[in-house]
Each structure stands twice: as structure tokens, then as C-alpha cells.
């Protein structure tokens, strides 16, 4: 008697577990279907299915000779009752794909711009180092010429012939040094202006790249020119 009682309890537990699992699976399926129906890109979430109806009417009313290869293929699929060509639960959103492609292109462009700006920054650093070296050499040459300037009056006092011979080369050297100093100062100021403008451009490019891009909030239109379902303008609009 006890064995029979245990056997009945085990059977009841098995059947109750099977029933609970079945109801849980049905509940999960219902939740999945409800979530897909509530999505904005779902085929039946908005009035996108009317475009499919218009396309079916267009295929039925048009002549076979006037259809393209893709339209003829879809016409055969519709006649045979096949639904393999339809998007699975979700509509085709070409605008979202184009928006993603434009975002990728903008990101690549920003990366290329950053690389170019980095190269310009390196070149400017090299130019700055070279100009600093030129400035140091000019200062060293000016320091080397000062003893000759001090010694020239003594030479003029002792030997007027040597003074007359050495005066013109020294004046030429001084004039050249002055011209070189003026040109170096002008170039340095021009380089500083260029550096300021490049810094402004870098700040503007970084500010543009850091700003988030606005996303489109309008409902997607599933069927466009490049989609598998090409709707023509001369197609019938609704079913009578």
C-alpha cells in the first residue's frame, strides 16, 4: 500500500512539473510576441503593411513584360505562397543604415583629420626647433663679432690704412647681421601667427568631433529604392 502511495505521488509530481513547464513556455512565447509587436520597426507596429498590399496589387495588375527581374521573382514567390523573401518580423529600415554609414564616414574623416593635424603639429615642432637653433647661431655670431668692434678703434688710431681697409667689411657684416636679425624676427612673428591659427583650427575640430550627433526620431520608412521591394510611383495605391 505504501509503495502504491509513493508511486502515485511521483506520477503526480511528474505531471504537475510537465504542466508547469508547458505553461511557462507558453508564457515566454506570448511575452516574446508581445515585445516584437510593440517595437516601432515591426511590420505591424504602424501602417507599413499597406505598402506591401500596394506592391502586391502592382504585381498582380502589371504585365510580366514590364516587370524587372526582381519584381518577376517576387511575383513568382507570391504566386507560390512563399514568404521567405519577407523580412523576419522587422521591416527594412534603409534610412537607419544610411545614417549608420554616414556616421562611420564622419568618424573615419575625423580620424584622418586628427592624423593630419598630428603630422602638422610634428612639423611645426621641427620648424620651431630649427628656428631656435638659427636664433642661437645668430646670437653666437653677434657675440663673436663684438671683440672685433672693440678692437677696431685701436686699429683706427694706430693705422689709418688698415682702418680704411677693414671698415667696409665690418660694416657689411653688421648690416648683414641686422638684416638677418630683422628677417628672423619677421619670420618668427609670422610663425607664431600660423601657430595661433593652427591651434584655433585644432580646437574647433576637437570641439566638432566631441559633440554628439543628433539621432533621427521619425518612424522609419521600410521600402526605398535599394530595398528588395521597389515600389514604383505608377503602381495602384489601394484595393478597391
215 lies in some domain: no
Q: Are residues 88 and 133 in the same domain?
A: no
Q: Are residues 187 and 146 in the same domain?
A: yes
- pLDDT for 94 equals 45
- pLDDT for 228 equals 42
Average pLDDT, the chain: 68
Q: Are residues 31 and 62 in the same domain?
A: no
Task: Check whether 28 has a pLDDT greater than 80.
Answer: yes
173 lies in some domain: yes
Q: Are residues 57 and 33 in the same domain?
A: no
Vertex 50 angle, CA 46 and 51, to 5°: 105
Q: Are residues 237 and 147 in the same domain?
A: no
Task: Check whether 169 has a pLDDT greater than 70.
Answer: no
Q: Are residues 88 and 104 in the same domain?
A: no
Host domain of residue 75: 48-93+222-240
43 lies in some domain: no
Domain count, the chain: 3
217 lies in some domain: no
Q: Are residues 206 and 238 in the same domain?
A: no
Q: Are residues 77 and 103 in the same domain?
A: no
Q: Are residues 189 and 117 in the same domain?
A: yes
216 lies in some domain: no
68 lies in some domain: yes
Higher-confidence residue of 144 and 221: namely 144
Q: Are residues 149 and 121 in the same domain?
A: yes
Task: Check whether 40 has a pLDDT greater than 70.
Answer: no
Tracing cell 521600410 back to the chain, one arrives at 222
Report whether 54 contacts 236 (CB < 8 A).
Answer: yes
- As given in the structure block, the three cell numbers for residue 58 are 502592382
Q: Are residues 184 and 206 in the same domain?
A: yes
Q: Are residues 10 and 67 in the same domain?
A: no
pTM of the model: 0.24
Amino acid at each position: 500500500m505504501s509503495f502504491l502511495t509513493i508511486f502515485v505521488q511521483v506520477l503526480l509530481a511528474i505531471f504537475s512539473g510537465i504542466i508547469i513547464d508547458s505553461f511557462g513556455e507558453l508564457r515566454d512565447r506570448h511575452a516574446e510576441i508581445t515585445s516584437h509587436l510593440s517595437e516601432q520597426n515591426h511590420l505591424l507596429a504602424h501602417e507599413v503593411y499597406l505598402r506591401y498590399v500596394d506592391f502586391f496589387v502592382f504585381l498582380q495588375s502589371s504585365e510580366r513584360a514590364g516587370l524587372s527581374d526582381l519584381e518577376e521573382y517576387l511575383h513568382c514567390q507570391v504566386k507560390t505562397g512563399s514568404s521567405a523573401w519577407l523580412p523576419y518580423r522587422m521591416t527594412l529600415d534603409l534610412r537607419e543604415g544610411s545614417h549608420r554609414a554616414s556616421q562611420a564616414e564622419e568618424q573615419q574623416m575625423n580620424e584622418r583629420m586628427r592624423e593630419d593635424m598630428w603630422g602638422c603639429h610634428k612639423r611645426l615642432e621641427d620648424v620651431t626647433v630649427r628656428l631656435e637653433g638659427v636664433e642661437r647661431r645668430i646670437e653666437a655670431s653677434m657675440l663673436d663679432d663684438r671683440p672685433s668692434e672693440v678692437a677696431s678703434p685701436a686699429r683706427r688710431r694706430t693705422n689709418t690704412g688698415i682702418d680704411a681697409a677693414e671698415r667696409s667689411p665690418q660694416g657689411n657684416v653688421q648690416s648683414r647681421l641686422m638684416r638677418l636679425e630683422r628677417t628672423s624676427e619677421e619670420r618668427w612673428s609670422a610663425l607664431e601667427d600660423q601657430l595661433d591659427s593652427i591651434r584655433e583650427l585644432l580646437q574647433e575640430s576637437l570641439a566638432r568631433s566631441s559633440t554628439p550627433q543628433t539621432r533621427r526620431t521619425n518612424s522609419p520608412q521600410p521600402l526605398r529604392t535599394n530595398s528588395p521591394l521597389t515600389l514604383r510611383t505608377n503602381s495602384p495605391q489601394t484595393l478597391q
